[in-house]
Amino acid sequence: MDEVLQEIPVGENLVIGGDFNGHVGVDKKKVHGGYDFGDRNKDAESILDFILTFDLVVANTMYKKRDEHLVTFNSGSIRSQIDYFIVRKGDRLKRNNCKVIPRGSLTSQHRILILYLCFKNNTKLEKIVGAAGLDSET
């Protein structure tokens, strides 16, 4: 994936979303807004190193939310945040919000995560909503 990202020009919009199976935790770092659910685990270190290398940020840690709007995985008594949207650090003005739909789910365990983005298109402003884990045809 490193080679693919290196080929994308810095001025291009970039959004990576999915189940990363790592808990980035609540510690603040250059790639992290500090609003997360749970503790950092060993799997998160490679995710955070990747994000630092390409000057990206974890979008869903940039917004203060109640726990129910942070938890992306819920299975019985296990609740965690392992699904993320990762975007370029410089695209801060394009991000309006990122949250979990608490009552919606993509599978029996993963909740829908939505990232709100705004882009200028000539004279009008377009609002694009993306949901992690959904095919582009749905």
C-alpha–C-alpha distance, residues 138 and 135, integer Å: 6
Total domains in the fold of the chain: 1
32 within some domain:
yes
> 25 versus 104: which is more confidently predicted?
25
Asked if residue 1 belongs to a domain, the reply is: no
* 127 within domain boundaries: yes
pTM listed for this prediction:
0.75
Split at pLDDT 50, 70, 90, the class of 134 is very low
pLDDT, averaged across the chain: 77
pLDDT at 111: 87
Domain presence at residue 51: yes
Phi and psi at residue 120, in whole multiples of 5°? -85, 130
pLDDT reported for residue 137: 44
What is the 3-state secondary structure of 64-133? Answer: CCCHHHCCCEEECCEEECCEEEEEEHHHHHHEEEEEEEEEEECCCCEEEEEEEEEEEECCEEEEEEEECC
Sign of CA dihedral 102, 74, 135, 45: positive
Which range of residues forms the domain containing residue 111? 15-131
For 6-59, what is each residue's pLDDT tens digit? 888 887 888 899 888 887 876 655 677 777 777 777 888 888 888 888 888 888
Residue 129: name the closest of 90, 80, 94, 93 by CA: 94
